Amino acid sequence: MKFSNFLSLACLSLAAAVPTKRSTTYFGLSLPTQDIRTNLDNSFSSNVPPFFQKLQSTNRVQSSFHVTLIHVTDSKSHSDIWKYYKDLVAKGGVTQVPVQLNHIVWDDRLMAVDVTVDPEGTSGVQWPSTNDVTHTTIGTVNKSVKPVESNDLLVQWKSDGSVIGINDSGVSAISMQNARVVGTLTAF
């Protein structure tokens, strides 16, 4: 083996041993798991929808909840927003913000909650999002249904008039009364 080859091999294995800094897939707000679960339980009260029971019994409720603000796939088309969150995280300035949970919306594929970030604007900074409807996904029925579909479901529900009603056919929704949690800005 030539020495230069040996050297590059040695460098490669060295590089593999040093943990590389993972690049950001999305910026979002991580939400406290137990608070979300408690708010869901309180909102359903004694009328737990069969779809939620199904998600629970098949272990398809997310183990942690987040609100996506911008995904890396939008980092070029919305480079200003991407940079904004990158800087905000780097500066370690305002990273906690109230998040209001508005409605639980679901069909036979997934369940999501539309949210309002910083409803009274008390954080002092902006919270732009590239999603049409800012939301958190509660769970999807199986792995082939991706959480990214939540945005489509909520856009459809809103364009159909944001109808409130528990109904296992079509799209169902209930209101969450005064449900608030604290979100933490995170680079995922």
Ligand X SMILES: *[C@@H]1O[C@H](CO)[C@@H](O)[C@H](O)[C@H]1NC(C)=O
List contacts with ligand X (CB under 6 A): 108-109, 141-142, 144-145, 163, 165, 167, 169-172
Within 8 A by CB and 6+ apart from 37, the residues are none
Residue number with CB closer to ligand X (121 or 170) = 170
Residue number with CB closer to ligand X (62 or 95) = 62
C-beta of 78: minimal distance to ligand X in Å? 31
Angle (CA) 150-40-31 rounded to 5° is: 65
C-beta of 135: minimal distance to ligand X in Å? 18
Q: Which two tokens stand for residue 117?
A: 């970030």
Residue number with CB closer to ligand X (70 or 173) = 173
C-beta of 59: minimal distance to ligand X in Å? 14
C-beta of 182: minimal distance to ligand X in Å? 31
Q: Where are the alpha helices (DSSP H) in 58-185?
A: 79-91, 149-159
d(CA 69, CA 50): 30
d(CA 171, CA 110): 10
